Structure 1
Amino acid sequence: MTLLAVERIKLFSTRSPYWCAALAIAMAVGFSALLAANAETVSVDLTQAGSRLALVVVLVLGALAVTTEYRFGTIRATFLAVPNRTSALVAKTAVVAVVAGVIGEVVAFGSWAMAKVIKPSADLAINSGAEWRNVAGVGLMFAIGAVLAVAVGILVRQTAGAVAILLVWSMLLENLVGIIPKVGVKIQAWLPFMNADHFLAVNPPSQAESEAAGAVVYKLSQWGSLGYYAGIAIALLVVALVVAKRRDA
């Protein structure tokens, strides 16, 4: 508990969590407002269209939580105070993941509420399990994404490099893989952020419909996709912890 408290204090002693949280919420809620104001029909899943944009900001927050310490050398003081580097880094990851999860829930329900205010006549009741997963699941997606971002930050240690990797990976690379002839969509079915999107989908197409359209055919259920996404993040974190123990701070 002491380590968690220390990491919480260190995180909130900088401006990055405040700015990132504000930016993520503003982007997602603003995008939801824009869609609700211009769309003829508004559905629950449409209100969450901006969550992917907000996720990018949360990934940057996760990377900054680590790379800022390496940049200013405070990570050395942390490792001197806590010789068990794994414990210190796991505590940092846990704190960042919780903060990211909270941001995700605020983003999700804030976007939904904004759409409800703009289009009060729209049917935006969250009734089904799929709709609850689509909204409340954003927090889970953000928390896992933060773990992945912290892992990348530990491995790269430089802010510019870590942020560039995360932005290209989440916004560009996984989408570009799909243009590879014959095998592109097959590879996409096993990419982490694609599986995160699959988890949140309210009405995903059936396997037959996806095959007919030449789209991604996911091999896992929606909850299975979340587990796979989490597994990738945890595996990358384990690798990062091993590397952090073996090299100089």
Structure 2
Amino acid sequence: MTVRALAAEFQKTLTTRMWWLLAILLVVYVGLLAGGLGAFLAWAIANPEQAARAGGGQPPITPGIDLPPLIYSFATSIGYVFPVLLGALAVTGEFRHRTLTPTFLATPKRGVVLTGKLASQLVVGAVFGVLGFAASVGAGAAALSAFGVDPTLDATDTWAMVGRGILAMALWGAIGVGLGAVVPNQVAAIVIVIAFTQFVEPMLRLVSSLSDVTAEIGKYLPGAASDALVGASIYSMAAIGQSASLEWWQGGLVLAGYAALLTVIGGATTWRRDVT
């Protein structure tokens, strides 16, 4: 990878409206969910009897659960779809708008172009992570404080989780690039991202929590690996039975492995084909 190729990829991303539109959607989406659910669960903790009656005798949250990390992790557990989409669009947009030909003429080594896209989306994904956590921590901490729940903003564990979350978002951006290289059709890539992240994987994670055997398999799903890296996830509240989890560093390696595998497959197949 050359500095010129990397700079070109940053320019392609930052000179379009898509990155800041997705960034705004990320902040609004995560902020509303973190603030809304944070307020509801903090109210449930402050008013356990009323919450139990409202829930048919069952409290909406397990007593003693560490609430702030769950609320703050909305930035990754829900918001990771945005860097994936942007990473995929960074590749598929070249095919759709037929700009890949001049790109390859300017940089004939295709591997350099793909590496530049990967590196640039790692950085942009990290920026999305900063924005996402600014929204989730800001809205979530305000909601928790309003109902007397300690937001734990002075705890090192909180900021360590935020740092791991930013790394996770960066890796999701790289996964998007790999997916775009494997599936160059933009519409198909968008459908795959939305369907898998919003429907398929959540269902797989829910079903995998039903037994020890499937839970061991389910923890290697990309979303589960991301949550393990971060160290908290709202999905842990939805697990029916077993809830196996990797160590944070193992989750990071699995997530990086998905990015590397998809990029290698895309680079060895679609990326080598003739461009018309």
Quote how far apart the aligned CAs of 1:110 are. Answer: 2.7
Contact kept? 1:44, 1:112, Cα under 8 Å: no
Separation (CA, whole Å) in 2 of partners of 1:172 and 1:203: 16
Letter in 1 for 2:196: W
Aligned to 1:29: 31
Contact 2:31 2:136 in 1 (8 A): yes
- Where 2:149 maps in the other structure, the secondary structure is coil
1:223 aligns with: 249
Hey, what's the Cα distance between the residues in 1 that align with 2:144 and 2:232?
20
TM superposition shift of 1:157: 0.8
Aligned residue among 6, 9, 14 for 2:8 = 6
Please name the residue that 2:231 is paired with.
201
Task: Point out the more displaced range, 239-248 or 139-148.
Answer: 239-248
Per the alignment, residue 169 of structure 2 pairs with 142
- 1:1-249 paired onto structure 2 within 5 Å: 1-39=3-41, 40=43, 41=45, 43-120=68-145, 121-128=148-155, 130-178=157-205, 179=207, 183-202=213-232, 214-218=241-245, 220-249=246-275
Output the amino acid matched with 1:233: A
Find the aligned partners of 2:199 and 2:214 in 1 and give their Cα distance.
14
Aligned amino acid, residue 234 of structure 1: A
SS at match of 2:269: helix
Query: Identity of paired residues, percent?
Result: 26
Is the contact between residue 82 and residue 88 of structure 1 (CA under 8 Å) also seen in structure 2?
Answer: yes
Report the CA distance shift for 1:66/1:203 in structure 2 as closer, same or farther (over 3 A). closer
Count of aligned pairs between the two proteins: 240
Return the alpha-carbon distance in structure 2 between the equivalents of residues 175 and 118 of structure 1: 26
Deviates more, 1:179-188 or 1:26-35: 179-188
For residue 79 of structure 1, what is the amino acid of its counterpart? F
User: 2-side partners of 1:13 and 1:109: how far apart?
Assistant: 24
Q: Which amino acid aligns with 2:249?
A: W
Q: Distance in 1 between matches of 2:203 and 2:190?
A: 19
Aligned partners of 1:130, 1:118: CA distance in 2, in Å?
A: 20
User: Per-residue deviation at 1:26?
Assistant: 1.1
Contact 1:24 1:53 in 2 (8 A): no
Uncovered stretches (5+) of structure 2, i.e. residues with no partner: 46-66, 235-239
Distance 1:137 1:21, change over 3 A: same
Aligned 8 A contact 2:181 2:271 in 1 = no
CA distance in 1, matches of 2:123, 2:241: 37
Q: Provide structure 1 residue ranges, at least 5 long, that are not aligned to the other structure.
A: 205-212
Is the CA contact (8 Å cut-off) linking 1:177 and 1:184 kept in structure 2? no
User: 2 CA distance for matches of 1:117 and 1:246?
Assistant: 50
Given that 2:165 and 2:229 are in contact with CA atoms closer than 8 Å, whether structure 1 keeps it comes out as no
Q: Cα distance, 1:76 vs. partner? A: 0.9
Aligned residue for 2:78, secondary structure, equals helix
Q: Which has the larger radius of gyration?
A: 2
1:84 counterpart letter in structure 2: K
Against the structure 1 CA distance between its residues 110 and 165, is the aligned structure 2 distance closer, same or farther, given a 3 Å change threshold?
same
User: How far does residue 129 in structure 1 lie from its aligned partner after superposition?
Assistant: 5.0
* Equivalent-residue separation in structure 2 for 1:52 and 1:2 (angstroms): 34
Partner SS for 1:43: helix
**Deviation readout 1:15-70 (Å, 9 max, x if unpaired):** 11010111111111121121233332452432333533221122111111111111
